[in-house]
Amino acid sequence: MALADIEMSLEQILGWAFLIYGAAVAIWRVKRPEKLFKYAAFQKRWGELRGRWLHIAAYTVAPIVFGLILLWNK
């Protein structure tokens, strides 16, 4: 099976993109949190703990869930 033989719909492509984005942000938050400018802004605005959880919900959980929904409904 060659890469050119794989057929993917727009929903599948977007689903994988959201999954990869959510996973990348999660890894980046652990390895280099100082590079995530919005993460620091969330913590400054909402406090350290609440800002962390809001950022996780908005930039990790939501994209992963949305990606799974897109992939599930292929």
Backbone angles phi, psi at 17, to 5 degrees: -65, -45
Q: Indicate yes or no: pTM above 0.95.
A: no
Cα separation, 51 vs 46, whole angstroms: 5
Alpha-helical segments (H) within the chain:
10-31, 37-46, 48-56, 62-72
pLDDT in tens, 4-16: 566 788 899 999 9
| Nearest partner of 12 among 67, 59, 61, judged by Cα | 67
Kindly list the domain boundaries of the chain, sorted by start residue. 18-72
Residue with tokens 């999954």: 19
pLDDT in tens, 24-39: 999 998 898 888 888 8
pLDDT-derived band at 73 (thresholds 50, 70, 90) equals confident
